[in-house]
Amino acid sequence: MSIHHVHAGDVRLGLPGDELRAVLGSCVAVTLWHPGKRVGVMSHVLLPRRGATLRSGRTDEQDGRFAEDALQLMVARLREAGVQPGECACKIFGGAQVFASGDSRVGNANVRALKSLLNRAGVAIVSENVEGTGHRVIRFVVETGEVWVSHRQNAMAYGGGGNDDQRDGGR
């Protein structure tokens, strides 16, 4: 199995035999998986919308750090692989409040923005593990569509912390 890390701002296409991984706090990962072709794509969104600053200074360049651009890049990668996004199972993860004394507005805004964009694109979310506190490690097994989530909750927020490892079914 080939393991590929999907960092903030990345959009990565995965094929059978690939595992896509991400570590999330307030960021949100979106996975789209086609059960027939066993092809999937994962994005790692940093912010809900594009602000005044851009990576390259060009306004026409898509940037996977932002929700709308990331979704457009995901659709483009899928279409290059011969897959229509509406035929895919969609799952979203992350958007947490990372620190107990912190502010959860960024994570919540990321989740809201992506849910709205996916709804407008006609893509149904079949599963989610979002918001809360702490961070998550996501493992997307492209062959099966399964997404494994390891959720480390903030010890300060939960008086001792804890792990919550679970599998999100592939179909």
CATH number for position 93: 3.30.1330.200
- Kindly report, residue by residue over 53-86, the tens digit of the pLDDT: 555 555 668 999 999 999 999 999 999 999 999 9
Q: Write down the pTM of the prediction.
A: 0.86
Backbone phi and psi for residue 105, each to the nearest 5 degrees, phi listed first = -60, -40
- What is residue 161's predicted lDDT score, i.e. its pLDDT? 43
Do 41 and 13 meet the contact criterion of CB atoms below 8 Å apart? yes
* Least confident span in 6-10, 35-39, 66-70, 160-164: 160-164
pLDDT at 87 over 80: yes
HSE of 29 in the Cβ direction (CA atoms, 13 Å)? 29
- What is residue 158's predicted lDDT score, i.e. its pLDDT? 40
pLDDT at 168 over 50: yes
- Kindly report, residue by residue over 99-157, the tens digit of the pLDDT: 666 666 889 999 999 999 999 999 999 999 999 988 999 999 999 999 999 988 764 44
Distance CA 136, CA 151 (A): 4
- Domain count within the chain: 1
Structural domain span for residue 84: 2-168
